[in-house]
Structure 1
Amino acid sequence: MSHPLLVDAAWLHEHLADPGIRVLDATTFLTQPEGDGYYDVESGRQAYEKAHIPGAAFADLLHDLADPDAATTFTALDSAAFAAKIGALGVGPDTHVVIYDQGPNVWATRLWWNLRYEGFDSVSVLNGGLPAWTAAGHETRTGTESYPAAEFVASRRPELLATQSDVLAAIDAPDTILVNSLDPDTFSGKRVTYARPGHIPSSVNIPFINLADANGFKSPEEVRPLFDSANTLDPTKKVITYCGSGIAATGLAFHLALLGRPNVAIYDGSLTEWSANPTLPLQTT
């Protein structure tokens, strides 16, 4: 049974008691000190415990669902480790996962991508997250909730991940489009957020902030011109998205899926990894 990629608060409220539904709160907080510099990252567990959608379990992207030994913060776990972690949250073959966060939806799309990367498609994102849920007048709960553990069987899709070598090769590949999802100042190098300023050569810039408004994600019809102008809807082109740590990049991949391009690759290390290697090219404009 297919499920919608994007659902609203009314849909989730109607289906919240369905036996196969697994609602996961993927809230994570990203803050940047005044001026330039790296972002600070904080788990959203405390925020989840203060208020969450009834029945929702907390999916900790920072501490549980990322490789603790990797050089970058949110690097995907290996398949077996991810399967164990996500299965413990109640996700199995007969479940439909609905993911939300308490912020800009990109934490929800990150977990959406994690699940798709491991071959799981029965997953939706709640548009607007918890703010949309509460704005609709629905109740929240405090504390911690959980689902019965399930057996998650991973079936990895390697085409959904781009490595550093893949990206380096893509710079001069006419059949591949590199898309940077960061703000224009970081893309151009005016703002120094990572070890070195700028963007990967040949990249186009589709800022994630242009894909959402105060109510959540804009409609596919509203954002289609942004993707059309970058030629990313051409089915003959491979698309690789990147950002700082592979989070906002999944927001672009999600929108492309809504527009009919589900197999976009994410450069997981993104600029955190790329800019730390002085031998790799960066371009400022």
Structure 2
Amino acid sequence: MGQQFPDTVSVDWLREHLGDPGTVVVDSSTHLALPKDGPYTVEPGRSTFDAEHVPGAVFADLLTDFADPESTAAWTAPDSDRFAAAAGALGIGDGVRVVVYDQHDGYWATRFWWQLRLEGFDDVAVLDGGLPAWKAAGAPVTDVASTPAPATFTSRRRDDLIRSTQQIVDALDDAKTILVNVLDPATYRGETSTYARPGHIPGSINLPVAQIRDPETGTLRPVEELRALFEAAGLLDPGITPVTYCGGGIAATGIAHALALVGRDDVAVYDGSLTEWTGDASLPLVTGDTPR
């Protein structure tokens, strides 16, 4: 695939390169409703994509095409063959570069960024600020559909970038692993929860994913600010491996992506996250703060 593509690009960059041969723009939006009480609901972002999207973009359905159909949890990472077929159908293959965005806070985009990297594809960048930043800059949108030219996607699975529940259990007393809960502090402490049980995985620290973005613009904080945030959390120590988790494996990829921007491209994601962990009553949870 040649030289690795940067992990993020700006609106200005995409404007300049929109329509370049070998560049595939992907909208990976999913709509998630979080009620005050009861479980969240999800649906693909296809209808809003059809209404307006970046010209030339294609749509990646993270709930169906890029998920394991046998899993009881939404958007569980599929096997490599299923992923390769779905990616190839969107025109993603050897020799192309991908820019992915979403219509919300960017974490559906980082989810697809992580899935591509999980399958060994490095030439993928996230559009900083996503569709909101694109529209705020006065860049064009369209409702005209694009027909991608099928490509051959070659999967080279990186098992070190994903963790199963059993692997998390095995790592609970591993000093070389640091579990990072990226949810809000109240959910981390167990004061509120939309999951089967409140609390967090024992030993995990809390680093809310909201801290990595400018609340006014929705774009990422400067790299040096991100570096200072992660340094303070102990996540840049080369002797440990960060493993991020959230509710369902989406927001966790936001922290993984931001860590890649400061040089840590080895961060793993617990794909099942709290949805899977809290659903098993035999697995431990703690409430309150975890001291470090």
Same fold judged by TM-score > 0.5? Answer: yes
Per the TM alignment, residue 227 of structure 1 is displaced from its structure 2 partner at its CA by 1.4
Tell me if structure 1 keeps the 8 A contact 2:245–2:274. yes
Q: Distance in 2 between matches of 1:218 and 1:236?
A: 26
- Aligned partner of residue 239 in structure 1, secondary structure: strand
Distance 1:162 1:69 in 2: 18
Structure 2 unaligned residues grouped into runs of 5+: none
Residue 240 of structure 2: which of 237, 255, 264 is its match? Answer: 237
| Partner residue of 1:271 out of 256, 271, 274 | 274
Which stretch shows the higher mean deviation, 60-69 or 262-271?
Answer: 60-69
Listed one character per residue, the Cα deviations across residues 67-104 of structure 1 (whole Å, up to 9, x for unaligned) are: 12102111101000100001000001010000000100
2:285 is aligned with what amino acid? L
CA shift at 1:220, angstroms? Answer: 1.9
Q: What letter matches 1:103 in structure 2? A: H
Q: What do residues 50-79 of structure 1 show as CA deviations (whole Å, max 9, x unaligned)?
A: 100000000011121111210211110100
Aligned partners of 2:29 and 2:44 also within 8 Å: yes
Quick one: distance in 1 between partners of 2:152 and 2:92?
A: 7
Q: Check the 8 A contact 1:65/1:82 in 2, yes or no.
A: yes
Write the distance in 1 (CA, Å) between the matches of 2:150 and 2:241. 37
Hey, what does 1:175 align to over in structure 2? 176
1:252 aligns with 2:238: no
Q: How much is the aligned-residue C-alpha RMSD, in angstroms?
A: 1.0
Partner of 2:27: 25
Q: Which residue of 2 aligns with 1:2?
A: 4
DSSP-derived class of the 2:31 partner? strand
Are 1:71 and 2:72 matched, yes or no? yes
CA contact (8 A) 1:37 1:192 kept: no
Equivalent residue, structure 2, for 1:82: 83
Q: 2:272 & 2:26 partners in 1: Cα distance?
A: 24
Question: Tell me, what secondary structure is at the counterpart of 2:243?
Answer: strand
Query: Cα deviation per residue 1:200-224 (whole Å; 9 max; x = unaligned)?
Result: 0000011011111232221222222
How far apart, in 1, do the equivalents of 2:144 and 2:73 lie? 30
The residue type paired with residue 235 of structure 1 is: P
Aligned to 2:151, what secondary structure does the other structure show? coil
Contact preservation (8 Å) 1:56, 1:146: no
**Superposition pairs of residues 1-285 of structure 1, within 5 angstroms:** 1-33=3-35, 35-213=36-214, 214-215=216-217, 216-285=219-288
| Residues 156-189 of structure 1: per-residue CA shift (max 9 Å, x gap) | 0000011111111222111110000111111000
Q: Secondary structure at the match of 1:179?
A: strand
Q: How far off is 1:225 after superposition?
A: 2.7
Q: 1:1-53 CA distances to partner (integer Å, 9 max, x unpaired)? A: 222111011000101121000000011111111x2332111211011011000
Judge conservation of contact 1:208–1:252 (CA < 8 Å) in 2.
yes
Quote the Cα distance in structure 2 between the aligned partners of 1:82 and 1:254.
Answer: 20
Matching residue's letter, 2:71: A
TM-score by length of 1: 0.97
Over 6 Å off, 4+ runs = none
Greater Cα offset, 212-221 or 112-121: 212-221
Q: Distance in 2 between matches of 1:10 and 1:192?
A: 39
**Inter-partner Cα distance in structure 2 for 1:123 and 1:82:** 15
Identity of aligned residues (%): 51
TM-score after normalising by structure 2: 0.95
> Which letter maps to 1:263?
D
Distance 2:282 2:79 in 1: 27
Gaps of 5+ in 1: none
CA distance in 2, matches of 1:38, 1:225: 35
